[in-house]
Amino acid sequence: MEQGQRIRATVYDSTLRGGGCLGLKDNVLIRTSPLVPPYTHHADGRSAKAYWIYKKVKKAIYGKVTVAYELEPYPSDPSAWRLTDRHVAIKMLLWEQIRRLSGRFEEDPIKEISAMQYLHNVTTTNGLGSTGGTEGGGSRHVCRTVEVLSDARYVYSVMPYLRGGELFDHVSRDGRFTEERARHWFKQILNGIDFLQSRGVCHRDMSLENLMVDSSNTLIIDMGMCVRIPYVSRSPGTPCGTMDTVGEGGRRSLIQQGTPCGKPNYMSPEVYRSTGPFDGHAVDVWAAGVILFIMITGVPPFDVPSERDERYNIVTRGGMMNMLRGWRIRMSEEAGELIQGILRKNPEERWEIRQIWESRWMQGAVDVPGDQ
């Protein structure tokens, strides 16, 4: 198909109840305002929109992620659409799967969608993270939703299409990054986490697979396991845990453990042990430390964050640089100091984002990748 091409698509069998009409037929997803069938765009072209789903990019736990083109109403032809060159990614989650797996995993697609919508709404008011990282608005590094649609079969979460692939693929392709290149990505990742923290959100599944590249930008995706960080307000009479208290300097409290979740490589020891409540900030920072280690060395520091893993013991006892020398992998002293500060077993001793920003390594030069 080519840009400007006419696509004929009419949805006769809309399954959406209530307000608008939605239908997926021949890979064309049409959203119109309430109309009588057939649901073309002619009665109210203003709110009609359609997407042409043209390929699946990845299987997702509850369905799949597809790439689609936006379609616009074809002038003077009510049952036709015109192909634009605007891409979107659509995460299509099967209702049947959501019902069947409900409660079995920590990953919750409904929570994911509401978190993305919540973050989208707060983004438009103030995009800055709390510690004001040097690279500007952290919201630029968190993927937002364009819209969320639903019919009897699927929930469709429409997002900007991030065409550079997973950051994981970039590390795999290059083997590892130079420290300057790693610094470029790490600053953005930190800004993204900082933004989430400033909005009281703990991601819980930070990994190189959940960081998408778009040109020289990286964005955090996959909010399926995120949780709200409970805050205790300082001002008496203010309801506990409201988002407002985050910005007002409320004291954050611990999150109750559920099932340990996330990928074992990136999981913090307290989540892996799963014996008590945990600090939502510290778990995402831990994962960021593992991400940085992998970017610089090309390999994960250990397999599981447990005393059963000898490499974990070495790293958490401060022997990471020795271990790397044994592996004949070079890492600067500054990077070593930073990663050791992050990969501390005790979350209370683990460096916080502000300390990370102030570290020596973060002050170094960056190598911005060309458009890819």
Ligand X SMILES: Nc1ncnc2c1ncn2[C@@H]1O[C@H](COP(=O)(O)OP(=O)(O)O)[C@@H](O)[C@H]1O
Q: How far apart are CA 85 and CA 76, in angstroms?
A: 20
What is the closest distance, in whole angstroms, from the C-beta atom of residue 286 to Mg ion in the complex?
Answer: 18
Q: In angstroms, what CA-CA distances link 118 with 11, 51, 136, 196?
A: 31, 24, 21, 11
| Binding partner of 38, given Mg ion, ligand X, none, CB within 5-8 angstroms per partner class | none
Query: Which one, 164 or 230, has the nearer CB to ligand X?
Result: 164
**x/- site string to Mg ion, residues 160 to 199, per CB under 5 A?**
----------------------------------------
Residue 325 CA neighbour count, 13 Å, CB half: 8
In the set 205, 222, 279, 284, the catalytic residue is: 205
CA 277 to centroid of chain Cα atoms: 23
Q: In angstroms, what CA-CA distances link 280 with 198, 270, 350?
A: 12, 11, 12
What is the closest distance, in whole angstroms, from the C-beta atom of residue 214 to ligand X in the complex?
Answer: 8
| Binding partner of 89, given Mg ion, ligand X, none, CB within 5-8 angstroms per partner class | ligand X
Residues that bind ligand X (CB under 6 A): 57-58, 60-61, 65, 89, 91, 107, 143, 159-162, 166, 209-210, 212, 221-222, 224
What is the closest distance, in whole angstroms, from the C-beta atom of residue 321 to ligand X in the complex?
Answer: 32
| 108 counts as binding Mg ion under rule CB under 5 A | no
| Binding partner of 189, given Mg ion, ligand X, none, CB within 5-8 angstroms per partner class | none
Token pair, residue 89, equals 């990614």
Is 284 considered catalytic here? no
DSSP class per residue in 218-287: EEE---TT-EEPPEE-SSTTSPTT-THHHHTTPEE-PBPP-S--S-TTT--HHHHHT-S-B-HHHHHHHH
Binding Mg ion by CB under 5 A: which of 210, 245, 297, 316? 210
Q: How far apart are CA 204 and CA 102, in angstroms?
A: 19
Query: Which one, 57 or 122, has the nearer CB to Mg ion?
Result: 57
Token pair, residue 95, equals 């209702």
| 270 counts as binding Mg ion under rule CB under 5 A | no
| 222 counts as binding Mg ion under rule CB under 5 A | yes
What is the closest distance, in whole angstroms, from the C-beta atom of residue 68 to ligand X in the complex?
Answer: 11
Query: Could you tell me what percentage of the chain is helix, strand and coil, using 3-state DSSP and rounding each to the nearest 5?
Result: 35, 25, 45
Q: How far apart are CA 364 and CA 189, in angstroms?
A: 16
| Binding partner of 270, given Mg ion, ligand X, none, CB within 5-8 angstroms per partner class | none
**Using the 8-state DSSP alphabet, how is residue 90 labeled?**
E
Name the residue with the smallest CB distance to Mg ion: 222
Query: Which one, 48 or 159, has the nearer CB to ligand X?
Result: 159
Q: How far apart are CA 361 and CA 365, in angstroms?
A: 9
| Binding partner of 161, given ligand X, Mg ion, none, CB within 5-8 angstroms per partner class | ligand X
Instruction: Please check whether residue 218 is in contact with residue 183, taking contact to mean a CB–CB distance below 8 angstroms.
Output: no
| Binding partner of 116, given Mg ion, ligand X, none, CB within 5-8 angstroms per partner class | none
Token pair, residue 261, equals 């979740």
Query: Which one, 151 or 166, has the nearer CB to Mg ion?
Result: 166
- Stretch of 38-46, 220-228, 260-268, 316-324 contacting Mg ion, by CB under 5 A: 220-228
What is the closest distance, in whole angstroms, from the C-beta atom of residue 372 to ligand X in the complex?
Answer: 14
What CA dihedral angle connects 69, 172, 59 and 122, to 10 degrees? -60
What is the closest distance, in whole angstroms, from the C-beta atom of residue 210 to Mg ion in the complex?
Answer: 5
Query: Which one, 95 or 313, has the nearer CB to ligand X?
Result: 95
Query: Which one, 119 or 143, has the nearer CB to ligand X?
Result: 143
Query: Which one, 148 or 243, has the nearer CB to Mg ion?
Result: 148
Pairing of strands 227-228, 63-73: unpaired
| Binding partner of 192, given ligand X, Mg ion, none, CB within 5-8 angstroms per partner class | none
Active site residues per annotation: 205
Binding site for Mg ion (CB under 5 A): 210, 222
